[in-house]
Amino acid sequence: MTIRKIISPVTLTIVSLVFSLTTVCAPPQARAATVAGSISALSGTATITRGAATIPAADGVAVDVGDRIVTAAGSNLTVTLTDGSQIEVTDSSNLAIDENTLNADGTRASTKVSLLSGMVRSLVRSTAGTPPNFEVHTPNAVASARGTNFDVDYHKD
């Protein structure tokens, strides 16, 4: 003999309401980090700000989209991006990694960084047949390339 319990509509409504409130009021989940590359060289000291945390930079440390890199006076840091391009952040610089997306074949679809102060040297791997898809933004200009080596320098005054 099978005994079957019937859930009343009121109980079902209360359970649904509690589940909905739990889902809406729960703290947001941490976003999955999109790895832009990793630190391949460091001379001196630098930090990476990721969300609310600041971590010391070191060889091999992953750099994510959304990270901000700050180098100390007399320090230099190189990030090798997932497409093989490199960003050299020179001394006393502040750079944010805004976007780094790849095509299905591993070539760069779009890379955007913001230089807030200092200088960055970009060694951009060529992507044949595409419009410029590597951008360095400063508060007053945008430098864009498809494949070349170039420097961008920005100081407030």
Does 18 reside within a domain? no
136 or 146: which carries more pLDDT confidence?
136
Alpha helices (runs of H) in the chain, residue ranges in sequence order: 9-25
Number of independent structural domains in the chain: 1
pLDDT at 21 over 60: no
Question: 109-120: per-residue pLDDT in tens?
Answer: 899 999 999 999
Does 51 reside within a domain? yes
DSSP string, 18-46: HHHHHHHHSPPPPPPP-EEEEEEEEES-E
Tokens in use for 35? 């790895």
Question: 22-36: per-residue pLDDT in tens?
Answer: 444 444 444 457 999
132 band by pLDDT with thresholds 50, 70 and 90: confident
Does 11 reside within a domain? no
Question: 78-115: per-residue pLDDT in tens?
Answer: 999 999 999 999 999 999 999 999 888 888 889 999 99
Residues of the domain holding 98: 35-154
Does 2 reside within a domain? no
CATH number at residue 141: 2.60.120
Does 16 reside within a domain? no
Residue 81 — φ and ψ, nearest 5°?
-80, 165
